[in-house]
A and B are shown apart, each in its own frame.
Chain A
Amino acid sequence: MTSIVSVNSLSVAYRSGGRDVSVVHEVSWEVAEGRTLALVGESGSGKSTVAATLLGHLRHGSRITAGSVHVDGSDVFSLPARELRRLRGNTVAMVAQNAGHALTPSMRIGRQIAEAGGDVPVVDLLEQVRLPRPAELARRYPHELSGGQQQRVAIAMAVAARPKVLVLDEPTTGLDVVTQRGVLDLIGALRDELGLAAVLVSHDLGVVAHMADEVTVLRSGRVVESAPTRQLFAMPQDPYTRRLLASVPRLDDAGLALVGEAGEREVRPKAHVPDTAPVAVSARDLTIDYGSSRAVHGVSFDVRRGEVLALVGESGSGKSTLAWTLAGLRTPSGGTMTHDSGDLARPAQKRPLALRRRVQLVFQNADTSLNPRRSVGDAVRRPLRFFGTAATRTQAADRARRLISDVRLDPALADRLPAQLSGGQRQRIGIARALAGEPDVLIADEITTALDVSVQADVLRLLDDLRRERELACLFISHDLAVVRGIADRVVVLRHGVVVEEGPTDAVFASPGHPYTRRLMAAALEPDPDAAPFVDGAVDWSDAAEPDDLWTDHGPGHRVRRWRPADRLTTEGVS
């Protein structure tokens, strides 16, 4: 078997403060013609750096300290400039992570594709990546396309000159599940059709399992394990790999998985919420508008103390909007929201202090939810003082330390700035800050989306513990169904601001009643190369709800919005 790409003991470093900081150490791997190799690892492990060397590209300031990269027989880093250009055009092509940034904004996409060389007409290429109306599309500018379309254009550009190797750096990370699935299928089809070798960079083990023939696991710039995909997923050798694999939540887990040192998995059953538990918040026929556009249409739900209610739906379905409204950052245009101690219809500033502290928000992005110029201790102390839960300064400091250890962090971290904490630690501080007001409702808006899987597992664990200990009513927002499955007691599926299905988690996952729910589930990728689709593909449908007859009942508390199969094939459009 001939390998078209071979990386030999490659080391890359960049200079900082007068010394070399190593990013990649003695990494070696090979890809044979027509095969796909996946590079996986946590954020910052050096995946992108290695991938880009195939095109002879290094970040500004970094350099090769040892080793070599051979592509199609030539040593990439010793090629003269002209040869390197030819290599880039004809032999290796790259699809970058964020197509929105990778396309020149001032140039029509047709021109950009044509520029990449090759003899294939632009229209054919666009057709090949399954974009509708290619002739018209070629005349558009990048910003006139959706994220998924942009990614397809980037792929078309990459395959325009019919290269032999395709480098894909997290090609689907920015996309939602449904779109991701479409793009991955396209890549797979093109790879097989054109006989390309591919290098796929990803941190998503589901994607890797779905796409790759071989996997190389990187950690801190070193290769941890390298194996054919099936073998790796079936029998991971390295404890790190094992832990990594075990941390991935799965659609068929009935509770949160606890991962041991060696990667052993144990699923903890969900807490039982008694039917008598009081309702902490309830929303009725909530409508929320942005100017003239309506983001949320008549949504109703209750969350009881100690219960986790999950809101799921694709991007833009109105999840965050709901969360913000509950927190008092937007005013609803219709419907009611009530807390057991008062009306939530008014914005935060106008709510009484006592009510304000009862409903707390935890943010998605740990990077931006903490003030980078204030110590994390400050972040926790401020609400303690502000809400008056701590009367004096020393009391506040005490309580802050206690809260920090409550979220399983070392109280000594209190003096650090957010930048000196890891993403997971920051997210815990965010939770601690929310707890400082002694809330009984916690709104968690995609709090684990930005975290690596292993870290995500820890944070979910913490959340689950807290709600048990404090009887928190928790509104858990996510688009990752596997995560929801593990933590939520009940699920509300939102589509375009409308609830299409709701019910106990187990019931919904066991028999999703709405085609939209089914589609979400079908698109989810399991970290298992042999996994069969969790549910069958969805059918085309249209809404059939009548004003006085919205729901069909599917069991206790499980109801589905009325729908009927579509009369004709509605092309939902290629996203």
Chain B
Amino acid sequence: MVSFIARRVAAALGTLFLSSVLVFLAVQALPGDVATQVLGKDATPDAVAALREKLSLDRPAWERYTDWVRGALHGDFGTSLVSGKAVGSEVSMYLGNSALIALITVLFAVTGSIVLGILAGLYRDRWPDHLISTVSLVGMSVPEFVVATVLVLCFSVALPWFPAVVLYGPDASVGQLLPAVWLPALALAVVMAAYIVRMARTSVIDVMASEYVTTARLKGLSTWRVVTRHALPGAMLPTLHVIALNVAWLAGGVAVVENVFNYPGIGKLMLSSVQNRDLPVIQAIALISAVVYVVCNLAADLGAMALNPKLRTRGRTR
């Protein structure tokens, strides 16, 4: 068990390392000289040279990479080319705001969709299943920006229950943001839940058809007991990974929704830093998203371990 965790963590670290290299290389590939970019129309050759030196652009890429990684390990992601502030603190501010949305989204989407998915799976081919499946199909088929726009129209403009946009900056307090997180969270939850519902449904159906559930039934157990004790752990296993992927997707998927709601979150920062070629910020966001992805997957693995004794008691994954 310990070795299983150790291996997973090692793999996760490897992934992170590779991601960081990829991100660094990709960002280097962005066209245009950064220094000229930053200085804009005022760029004199002297100023460009000075800035190049300041940004250490004149040094070989691998040196810059190691510097960057060393800094990142100490929480120092450099300074933003646009605002001149420390990237680390800036990104974490935006990230915190997004985390608020993510938390609410995950809470609602995950619990709700698991319950719905299980219901659909148990009532397979009957009306609750048809209803849930149809709704989730539509949820999957409508892009986030449409859901978000419709929500604004309904619940901000027509019925002024929630703010249509966030008027605060990234340093807003939780209290200021709280009224504004519900609509974005709902928009994200609709899209995210659709996938989890469908996954939960299929795996419940699969597990309910398995021999061990049949055996449990033939033991004369009640349906409730069969479902909760025998079927659920098995059904949750594949669902767990879908949930993890969806949570990781949130890290990037918020971009569109945050844009619609002017929400000062990581997605919005991502858009604007790509547009402004704010390389240190892009790198930091990519790296942090990679961390989120890796952590989510690791969490899913650990969850799988809790649900699946085979993983807990054996050293090997397969």
Contacts and interface: CB of A to CB of B under 8 A. Distances in A.
A–B touch (CB < 8 A): the answer is yes
Interface of A: 55, 57, 60, 84-90, 93-94, 96, 98, 101-107, 115-117, 141, 143-144, 154, 157, 161
A221 B307 CA distance: 41
A96 B314 CA distance: 26
Contacts of A141: 309-310, 313
Interface in B183-228: 209-222, 225
Given A57-B214, A60-B209, A105 B313 contact: no
Given A101-B211, A106-B307, A144 B313 contact: yes
Contacts of A105: 212, 234, 308-310
A199 B41 CA distance: 91
Contact of B218 (A57, A98, A144): A57
B220 A85 contact: yes
Given A101-B210, A102-B211, A104-B230, A88 B310 contact: no
Given A141-B309, A143-B310, A103 B212 contact: yes
Contacts of B307: 106
Nearest to B210: A101
A115 B215 CA distance: 12
Nearest to A102: B215
A154 B218 CA distance: 12
B233 interface: yes
Nearest to B229: A107
Interface in B220-248: 220-222, 225, 229-230, 233-234
Contacts of B310: 105, 141, 143
Contacts of B309: 105-106, 141, 143
A106 B220 contact: no
8 contacts: A57-B214, A88-B220, A101-B210, A105-B310, A106-B307, A115-B216, A117-B219, A154-B215
A103 B214 contact: no
Q: Which 7 A-B pairs have the closest CB atoms?
A: A89-B220, A88-B220, A106-B233, A101-B211, A141-B309, A102-B215, A85-B220
Contact of A102 (B212, B225, B229, B234): B212
A108 to B, nearest CB: 8
Interface in B119-176: none
A103 B218 contact: no
Residue among A55, A87, A102 with max Cβ neighbours from chain B (10 Å): A102
A141 B225 CA distance: 19
A117 B220 contact: yes
Contacts of A94: 215, 218
Contacts of B216: 104, 115
Given A141-B309, A141-B313, A143-B310, A104 B212 contact: yes
B33 to A, nearest CB: 51
Given A141-B309, A143-B310, A57 B215 contact: no
A90 B220 contact: yes
Given A89-B221, A93-B218, A115-B221, 6 more contacts: A60-B209, A85-B220, A101-B211, A104-B213, A105-B309, A106-B308
B72 to A, nearest CB: 38
Given A106-B233, A141-B310, A88 B219 contact: yes
Nearest to B232: A106
Nearest to A56: B218
A104 B213 CA distance: 7
A105 B232 CA distance: 11
A57 B217 contact: yes
A57 B214 CA distance: 9
Nearest to B308: A106
Contacts of B209: 60
A87 B220 contact: yes
A319 B211 CA distance: 31
Contacts of B212: 101-105
Contacts of A84: 220
Nearest to B124: A60
Contacts of B308: 105-106
A259 to B, nearest CB: 35
A102 B221 CA distance: 15
Given A105-B310, A106-B233, A106-B307, A98 B211 contact: yes
B217 to A, nearest CB: 7
A299 B39 CA distance: 77
Contacts of B219: 88-89, 93, 115-117, 157
B234 A103 contact: no
Nearest to B307: A106
Contacts of A96: 211, 214-215
A106 B211 contact: no
Contacts of A144: 313
Contacts of B222: 85
A291 to B, nearest CB: 12
Nearest to B223: A81
B111 to A, nearest CB: 21
B218 A107 contact: no
A102 B222 CA distance: 17
B55 to A, nearest CB: 50
Contacts of A60: 209
Contact of A107 (B211, B217, B230, B314): B230
A91 to B, nearest CB: 9
Contacts of A87: 220
Contacts of B225: 115
A107 B307 CA distance: 9
A200 to B, nearest CB: 17
Contacts of B220: 84-90, 116-117, 161
B167 to A, nearest CB: 49
Nearest to A141: B309
Nearest to A111: B229
B169 to A, nearest CB: 48
Nearest to A117: B220
A541 B214 CA distance: 43
Nearest to B208: A60
A88 B234 CA distance: 24
A90 B220 CA distance: 8
A125 to B, nearest CB: 14
Interface in B289-318: 307-310, 313-314
Nearest to B213: A104
A96 B219 CA distance: 12
Nearest to A54: B218
A57 B220 CA distance: 11
A86 to B, nearest CB: 7
A144 to B, nearest CB: 6
Contacts of A98: 211
Nearest to A82: B222
Nearest to B215: A102
Residue among B215, B233, B309 with max Cβ neighbours from chain A (10 Å): B215
B217 A103 contact: no
A154 B214 CA distance: 13
Contacts of B313: 141, 143-144
Residue among B209, B214, B220, B229 with max Cβ neighbours from chain A (10 Å): B220
Nearest to B211: A101
A388 to B, nearest CB: 40
A114 to B, nearest CB: 11
A127 B314 CA distance: 26
Contacts of A101: 210-212
A106 B228 CA distance: 12
B228 to A, nearest CB: 11
Nearest to A108: B309
A104 B235 CA distance: 12
Contacts of B217: 57, 88
